[in-house]
Structure 1
Amino acid sequence: MTGFPGDGVRTFLGRMARATHWLALLAFPLWLVTAPATANAPPVVLIMGDSLSAAYGIEADRGWVSLLQQRLGGKAKVVNASISGETSSGGANRLPDLLGQHEPNIVLLELGGNDGLRGLPPGQFEANMADMIEVSRKAGAEVLLLGIDIPPNYGQAYRDAFTGVYRRLADDYDLPLVPFLLDNVALKDELMQDDGIHPTAEAQPTILDTVWPKLAPLLEANGAELAEAGQD
């Protein structure tokens, strides 16, 4: 037997070092290919709403949410989880599963109209909305609140308390807020359906333009390039 007893160990370590070097070279192209695809994936926008976002009474592709996806093209993916008749309680129950399924970057909360029409205590409405905000943030999503007004069926005091929930939540959680989703729509008879509650197809571009100024900065912050996705 020739050589020092340590030669075998040194030879083994040398071979391991060379093998590690080649493995690193082989692995590098895989990282180079896969990492940018993940980094450049378009942001996902999840919309939790009621009939105002579910295109009630009109063709689905003319609703403001569909118009949003058309405006964005492939710059973001829009998931519309809105259901006609949905309440804040129903939304809070459904949201965790939707967050896990779609992993959104941004969550739009457009709920409250049905709670207000049913006379739900404002405190309970606020608790449901706060729960959705916190669950969304825990999942890594940013939140945009879309406020709504209600008729004074239960008195002006109730109406003020109910609509005040949106502003309070926006302040408490430092969230962007669209104060009234149907701004420039609700008081125009020609833009409302016969029930006086739901907007017509002709009103949908105006609704999108109301949401867009608050949504666009969130999209850009999450990697969407909106230079060519301006207003229609």
Structure 2
Amino acid sequence: MIRLLVVTVLAMASLSVQAGGLLVLGDSISAAYGIEKSAGWVALLEKELEQRCRDFPVINASVSGETTAGGNSRLEALLDTHSPDIVIIELGGNDGLRGLSPVAMANNLTQMIEKSRAANATPVLLGMRIPPNYGQQYTRLFEQQFRQVSDDKQVPLFPFFLEGVVEQGWLQKDGIHPTEEAQPLLKRHAVSVLEPVLPAQCGNGKGDEDV
């Protein structure tokens, strides 16, 4: 009985060591749709953090087709399971492509930010834009939500995650999803907003600024 108790305690201690790191909650762009998973921007980020950080795992919980409502409904369980230090929220594109309410999208983003903070995780937003054929009023309102949520909740934001991708012609045949060539650029976009909130063991994070 004592031996069983010791084994249980050691197992729990091992789990606690593995807790933390970075959780990516995204859609097909972060799920590496149409390309090898190992070539996706999240995998590239994981490789970089493996070199820079100590014991800082990357959990990619992205699902193709995910909306902000879907991500919001899944987030609590993910936070309970992984106890991340940072949560990257890369959602909203499918809300726009489906013509869903930008205000509802903003509410979902806000709830995900609040849930992350309640779980002692730092949230980061990767924003999105949609094609102009959805109408000027809708596209403007959609884009404004990311900035508004970022300002209201004081969350780091990269306004348009696909910035530079279209200009370079790095889109798959569907005209929506980035090609493999675009992934290093997407990784750099993510790192640009992650850098200030990375922990001390990652080198140039906020921990260094406090020294």
Q: TM-score, normalised by structure 2?
A: 0.84
Cα distance in 2, alignment partners of residues 97 and 104 from structure 1: 12
**Residues 31, 63 of structure 2: 8 Å contact kept:** yes
| Paired amino acid for 2:129 | D
2:167 is paired with a residue of what secondary structure? coil
Q: Check if 1:128 corresponds to 2:84.
A: no
Partner of 1:49: 26
* Consecutive unaligned residues in structure 1, runs of 5 or more: 1-33, 228-232
Partner of 1:200: 179
Q: TM-score, normalised by structure 1?
A: 0.77
Deviation of the 1:140 alpha carbon: 0.6
**Residues 178, 214 of structure 1: 8 Å contact kept:** yes
| Paired amino acid for 1:113 | G
1:73 is paired with a residue of what secondary structure? helix
What pairs up with 1:187-226 in 2 under 5 angstroms?
187-189=167-169, 191-219=170-198, 222-226=199-203
Cα distance in 2, alignment partners of residues 224 and 156 from structure 1: 45
Match of 1:114 among 86, 90, 94: 94
Cα distance in 1, alignment partners of residues 171 and 161 from structure 2: 13
Cα distance in 1, alignment partners of residues 40 and 181 from structure 2: 9
Runs of 4+ in 1 over 6 A off after TM superposition: none
Cα distance in 1, alignment partners of residues 62 and 164 from structure 2: 22
**Residues 19, 83 of structure 2: 8 Å contact kept:** no
If you compute each CA radius of gyration, which structure gives the higher value, 1 or 2? 1
Partner of 2:209: none
TM-superposition CA deviations, 1:112-141 (whole Å, max 9, x none): 000000111111111111111111111111
TM-superposition CA deviations, 1:177-226 (whole Å, max 9, x none): 0011111112222x11111110101110011111112102211xx23333
**Residues 116, 150 of structure 1: 8 Å contact kept:** yes
CA 63–174 in structure 1, closer or farther in 2 if over 3 Å, else same: same
Number of residue pairs aligned between Structure 1 and Structure 2: 187
Report % sequence identity.
48
* Consecutive unaligned residues in structure 2, runs of 5 or more: 1-12, 205-211
**Residues 115, 125 of structure 1: 8 Å contact kept:** yes
